[in-house]
Each structure stands twice: as structure tokens, then as C-alpha cells.
Structure 1
Amino acid sequence: MSSAQRTTRRRTRTALAWAGFTAAVVVVALVGGLLAQSATWSERGVLDPESAGPDGARAVVRVLEAEGIEVRVARDRAAAQSALADSDATLVLPDAPGLSDAAVRELADGADDVVLLEPRSRTLRLLLPGAAPAGAFADEEVSPACSFPPARSAGDIVAGELFAPATDGEACYRVDDAYALVTSAQDGRSVTAVDGRTLLANDGVDRAGNAALALALLGARPALVWYVPSPADADGAAPTLGELTPPWVTPAIVLLLLAGAAAALWRGRRFGPLVAETLPVTVRGSETTAGRARLYARSRDTAHTAEQLRSAALARLRRILSLGAHASPAAVADAAATRLSEDPAAVRHLLLADAPATDRELVEFSERLHDLEAAVAAAVRPEGTTR
């Protein structure tokens, strides 16, 4: 197979690998998106009329439907207003902080009866003037002690959140100075506030008279519109990130991204696979010696330089005296002194202990080593030949 064919085949395999990788990323992204969307669809909030979870309210809805009540679940304000306009209906209104005061009043005005689930201070102020949250009661049964027909027919219930009574209305299920149910008749309709989590949730609706009270409140009209607040119903849309940042930020980010992409292409480009090539390099010994000498001179490390000169001289003297590579410096000094009939202490001082401190002393030290080597060589080989 020729090199051109191998190159073509390698490029084909590379292209197929990148294509497979891209396809895998796309598939994973699609599957992840579908799973996330499915999870979003299946997720239900507290007191959702279609939720079968412990904090859902589907049990009450199913009983109402079995009793002939038409239950419409409205997941946006427009659908709730449309359903209320078409029928004689009770509106189930959870607390909706995203709606404006006008929107809350408009939604309640379209209903024939209104049941407030877990209302906060603002909702009570708008629809039940005088009423306000007043804490919660321990999980115990409470008797109605009032003349409100749904409460009297239901009997005792398990109370939860409590409210202060409205200015013009009636209150039931008293606990100290607060009540579990507050109601008021306004322009031919009733507005009632209860703790929906304790009264209507699937895990508590069967306790005491909770179910009876829930059916009496929610089944008073032929139809029931259960409004589920949506973030899209908010009157004022939240500002986008682009609106919160200065005008120059977006162009700067785009410019940085383009610059980064250009730099990646510039630095990461390849003209085919890398090829390893052996390039023979020959450096003369004199160049290496001269280079090291310059380094030693520049660093002014006299002691290290003297040690290198001493080590090299000892190695050469071992060869001249035929002592072997592992002979100790002391043995080399004694052998050299014997050959020259010199004082062993002087030769040992030169080869073992002499430590020049200045450049001048280093030059003199080098010359003495050279003279010693020359003298030993002449003593061993009187003819003056060298190896």
C-alpha cells in the first residue's frame, strides 16, 4: 500500500471518528432534553388538582367529579377567566404572588364563589378585608362552633393554618383568638379562606370531617374552576440578562469568542500527522569544553572548577600509572610521589586538599596539575610518548 493510500485511509478514519462523536453528542443532547421535558411534565406542585402524590389534591377532584361537579383545571389566568365566564362556578384560588392586585380582584370578580387556599396577607387584604394570617395549630381536631352551613354539616376537622376573622363575615373552628376557616358574603358570592394543605391534600383529606368540608365548599356550584398559577401570568415580565447588562457587554463577549476561535484555529491547525525524524548532530569536543569553561568563568565558582580539574587529572594519572578506574585519590597521589621520588604529603595536598580561592590561584593550580601529569608521564614513559 502506497503512502498516499495510507494517508487517505487515515484521513477517512479520522473523519468517520469525528462524525460518530458528533452524532453521539447530538443523540445524548436529544435524549437529555426529552428526559428533562418529561420530568417537567410529570412534576406537579403542592395541591395540584391532577397530582396523586401525598401533597396533591386529585382525590378531592375525583370525588367531586363522581358527584357530578364539572372540574376544570386552568393552568393560566386567561383559561381561568374563560372558564369562569362560561359557567356558574366556584373558583379555587391558591396564593399567586406573581399577579398584581388588579389581576387578583379581576379573577375573583368573575367567580360566583371563591375558595382561597393558603392565602397570604395581600390576598386576604384584597378579598377578605380585616382577615390576616394568625399562625398554625397543632395537628388536632377542632369543632366548628359557628353557623356557616358547610362547617356545621362537616363537623370537626383537623385544623392547620389559622386566620384572624374578617371585618364583615363569619369565622369557624376557633383556636384561641384565631380560626381555621374565615368566610364573608360579598355581592351575592362567598369568599372563604382555609388551609388547603391540611384540608384538601391527598394524605389528609380523609381525616375527621375534612373531606365533608372540602366537598361542601368546592361542590356548592355546578362547576369548579381550579386555577394553578403560572409564572407566565405575572403582569410584569422579569428583565432579561441583556437588559440588566450595559450595552457594550454583548459585543465584547462576541468579540472575545471570535478571537478565541481564531486563536484556536491558528494554534491548533495541523498539516497532516506528526512525523518523527532523526537528525544526526555532531559537536566537537573542543566546543563542549569551551562552553563549559565559559559557564564556569561566568559563575565564578572557583571551588567547583578546581574540583573538575582535579577529577580529570586523577582520571588521567590512573591511566598513566595503570592503577585502574577505582583507585582512590590517596593511592594515586602516593603512586605518583613514588614515581617522582617526591614528598607524598605535597602530592597529596595538590591532588586531595588544595582549594584555590581566586582566579589567579586557580590558574596556578591548573598549571601545577599539568606539570605533575607531565612529570609522571615522563617518569613512566621516558621516551615521552603519550597514549
Structure 2
Amino acid sequence: MTTAAPAELASAAPRRGRRVAAWIAIGVALLVIGGAGAAITAANEWAARGALDPASAGPAGTRAIAEILRDNGVEVEIVRNRDAAARALADDDATLILPDTPALSDDAVEALASGARDVVLIDPRARTLDLFLPGTSPAGVAPSGTAAPACDLPEAERSGAVEPGSIFAIDDADGVTGCYPVDGAYGLVVGARGDDRVAAVDGRTLFSNESLAQNGNAALAANLMGRHPLVVWYVPGPGDTDLQNTDPSLGELTPPWVSPVMVLLLIAGVAAAIWRGRRFGPLVAERLPVMVRVSETTEGRARLYARSRDAVHAADQLRIGALERLARLLGLGPGTSAPEIADAAAGRTGLDRGAVRGILIDDLPRSDADLVELSSRLRHLEDAVHAAVRPERNPR
């Protein structure tokens, strides 16, 4: 005992060291992967903003036109909530760049635009057209190909031809000018709003970074947005809304006891995983002192053969067991053959030698009934040998 303990400790120490080193390596790898993911996410945060975002350098962003306006002396202020936009518009004559704002009510949209001298709708929908340019409506998408301004609007005439994208119909609008006519509709509509002006154009097609350099897109964007020294570019934030949400949330519908129970189940699951996985490494084979009698194995195999409808193999298993027991009863050695055991059994009991050989060797069962009959004959033969070898004594 005293000599084996140091050797066991010496062999266990390297194994523990390897396990600790493996866990440390896994932790370091997770930290490196997480750090790389965070760095990539942070690096792409501004470039991956949504469409028409002037802070986005992606294909659908509008950072290029914002930089062009700044290079030409126009201040561009990007705001992401209504309060900041209202403060910016109150300082000076300004142009409001307004995308689609589904999270704002009609009153909020009109209040937001009330402080601007010019409003440029760069993603006009039916609602905003009704609010700012009554009598106009969306008319689909223009076919491929450029269109000339064909209007007396100086900003469009200086810009030249463009490929409009979405077009707008002018039905009963008063004081509305249409430019870039295509199939009875227009790629640009401009109307008066008191002393101010409203323009509607498909900014997704014309003013995005990937299409700004095509045709007269950049000139048209600069001419429409750069009429005043300040451009307030409103980008709707996810929480910037004045609409009341009357639909109950999932948290409101959930009973208060659900969250603690979920946390408890999570903790229990983690504890169970640690408990069951506390031992790592290869499985260790251990010899157990289990003894199975030969008769149980023989009978079990016989039952398996019987279930599989293999009567011959089942009979063989029954005969093997019977021959082993008969050899022990008759005092024969383990190397005695089956015919010798059969002859010895016939000689001791006085039965016909051919009949005994048929029971122990020759007869083949064809069905389950034959197998049952053979089992009965084997049992009777064993009883006869047992009675012949160990006769009951007469008590008188």
C-alpha cells in the first residue's frame, strides 16, 4: 500500500493537469471568438444601418449624398427622434428629409414638418402623399430607361435625365408640378405648402449610395436638399412613436410565477449537467463478481430460438444441456461424446439404444409441437437415468 500510493498520485497528477489545460484552452478560445465577433459587430455597426440612413456607407444607405451636401457648405444634422428634430428645425431655415414614418400618427408627422421650409419625401407612401400633396398617389414603378425632366422646375432642369423608379400620379392636385413623366405619371412631384415646399421622389432608387453616381441622381439630390443652409435628416428610431399599443405583450399575458420557475429550471438543468458531467475521460472497465449458471444460459438461448421459430437450434440447445447433465449423473468425463453418453444412458436404464439416441441425437423437430414433445422426452429420460443411478431406498 505504501509503495503504490505515490505511483498512483504521480500518474493522476498529469491527467488532472491535462484536463485543466483543456478547459483553459476552451475558455481562451471562447473569449477570442467572442472578442472577434464583438469587434466585427462594432466595426460594422455604422455601415450596417438601414436603408436611407445618412450614417450608413452600405449600398442602401445615403451617406454619400450627406457628404456631398457637407462639402458644398450645407450643414447636415442627423436626428433619430422627434424632439431633436423639432429643436434642430427651430434654429434656422432648414430642409427636412422625411422617410416613411409608420410609427408616427398623422398629427405627429405634420407637427414634425411644420418647422421646416422644405420637406423632401424620400420614401413617399400613400399616407404621406395625402398629408403633404393632396391629390397625388403612388402609380407603381417606371419601366427601365431614363426620363427627361420635361418640367419648368429649375432643380430638375439642372439635374438632367434620371431613371425614376417609383412614379406618382397627379389626379386633382392643385399647384403640384410633375417632372420626369413616364406613362402618365411622374418620377418627381413638387407642391406648395403655404410659403414652404414639399417634394416627393423615390430616394431608395435615386439617392442610395449604390445608385447616386448614375445619370443625374446626385445633382437632383443636391438641388432638392441643398436649398437651405441646414438639412435635418430624420431617421425614425424604434422607440420614437406616439401611437398607443393596446395589444398586451407576452410578459403581460404570462402569469407572474412563470419567470421564477423558468429560472429555477434553468439553474437545475445547469446543476444536473455539472453533476452528471463532473467526470471526464475514458470509461474504465471493471470486473464484477457475477456468476451465471450454464443451465440459465442454455434455457435462455433455447427460448430465443423458440421465439424465432428455429426449432432445430432450440432442440440443439436443449440436447446440449441434457447431455451435460446426463454425463454428470453417469460419472462420465467432460470429453465423452454424445453417442457414448446416449449408449451409457440406455445401458443404465434398460431402454432401447436407438430410442435413446433418437431423443438425444437423431430426431429433428419440425414444428413447435415437436419441440415441446422432444423437451418432454428429454425430461423423462433424465428422470429415468436419475432413478437408475440413485434409486430410492426401501425404508423397511
TM-score, scaled relative to structure 2: 0.72
Is it true that 1:368 corresponds to 2:377 in the alignment?
no
Contact 2:349–2:385 (CA<8 Å) still a contact in 1? no
Aligned counterparts of 1:131 and 1:191: Cα–Cα separation in 2: 12
Aligned counterparts of 2:129 and 2:234: Cα–Cα separation in 1: 17
Contact 1:60–1:215 (CA<8 Å) still a contact in 2? yes
Is it true that 1:154 corresponds to 2:159 in the alignment?
yes
Structure 2 residue matching 1:56: 3-state secondary structure: coil
Percentage of identical aligned residues: 45
Structure 2 residue matching 1:47: 3-state secondary structure: coil
Contact 1:128–1:184 (CA<8 Å) still a contact in 2? yes
Superposition deviation, residue 195 in structure 1:
0.9
Bigger drift between 304-313 and 242-251 goes to 304-313
Contact 2:95–2:117 (CA<8 Å) still a contact in 1? yes
5+ residue gaps, structure 2: 365-370, 391-396
Superposition deviation, residue 275 in structure 1:
9.3
1:234-286: CA deviation from partner (whole Å, max 9, x where unpaired): 3358776423423332132133334445655776678xxx998877x596xxx
Superposition deviation, residue 8 in structure 1:
8.2
Is it true that 1:127 corresponds to 2:132 in the alignment?
yes
Contact 1:49–1:61 (CA<8 Å) still a contact in 2? yes
Residue 323 of structure 2 corresponds to which residue in structure 1?
Answer: 311
Distance 1:145 1:42, change over 3 A: closer
Residue 168 of structure 1 corresponds to which residue in structure 2?
Answer: 174
The number of residue pairs the alignment matches comes to: 364
Structure 1 residue matching 2:186: 3-state secondary structure: strand
Structure 2 residue matching 1:45: 3-state secondary structure: coil
Structure 1 residue matching 2:46: 3-state secondary structure: helix
Is it true that 1:231 corresponds to 2:238 in the alignment?
yes
Contact 2:97–2:121 (CA<8 Å) still a contact in 1? yes
Residue 251 of structure 2 corresponds to which residue in structure 1?
Answer: 242
Aligned counterparts of 1:160 and 1:241: Cα–Cα separation in 2: 40
Aligned counterparts of 1:293 and 1:332: Cα–Cα separation in 2: 19
Structure 1 residue matching 2:49: 3-state secondary structure: coil
Aligned counterparts of 2:350 and 2:203: Cα–Cα separation in 1: 117
Contact 2:122–2:200 (CA<8 Å) still a contact in 1? yes
Structure 1 residue matching 2:199: 3-state secondary structure: strand
Match of 1:205 among 203, 212, 217: 212
Counting only pairs closer than 5 Å after superposition, residues 64-213 of structure 1 correspond to structure 2 as 64-165=69-170, 167-170=173-176, 171-213=178-220
Is it true that 1:47 corresponds to 2:65 in the alignment?
no
Quick one: which amino acid aligns to residue 384 of structure 2? R
Structure 2 residue matching 1:226: 3-state secondary structure: strand
1:91-149: CA deviation from partner (whole Å, max 9, x where unpaired): 11111222232221122112110000021112222222222211010122223333333
Aligned counterparts of 2:300 and 2:151: Cα–Cα separation in 1: 105
Quick one: which amino acid aligns to residue 357 of structure 1? E
1:34-59: CA deviation from partner (whole Å, max 9, x where unpaired): 33333323313323324444433333
Distance 1:5 1:215, change over 3 A: same
Quick one: which amino acid aligns to residue 311 of structure 1? L
Aligned counterparts of 2:63 and 2:198: Cα–Cα separation in 1: 23
Contact 1:55–1:202 (CA<8 Å) still a contact in 2? yes
Residue 251 of structure 1 corresponds to which residue in structure 2?
Answer: 260
Aligned counterparts of 2:275 and 2:59: Cα–Cα separation in 1: 59
Superposition deviation, residue 365 in structure 1:
1.7
Structure 1 residue matching 2:124: 3-state secondary structure: coil
Aligned counterparts of 1:235 and 1:282: Cα–Cα separation in 2: 77
Quick one: which amino acid aligns to residue 265 of structure 2? L
Distance 1:40 1:240, change over 3 A: farther
Distance 1:228 1:337, change over 3 A: same
TM-score, scaled relative to structure 1: 0.73
Structure 2 residue matching 1:158: 3-state secondary structure: coil
Distance 1:258 1:111, change over 3 A: same
Aligned counterparts of 1:106 and 1:96: Cα–Cα separation in 2: 13
Aligned counterparts of 1:282 and 1:115: Cα–Cα separation in 2: 89
Bigger drift between 57-66 and 179-188 goes to 57-66
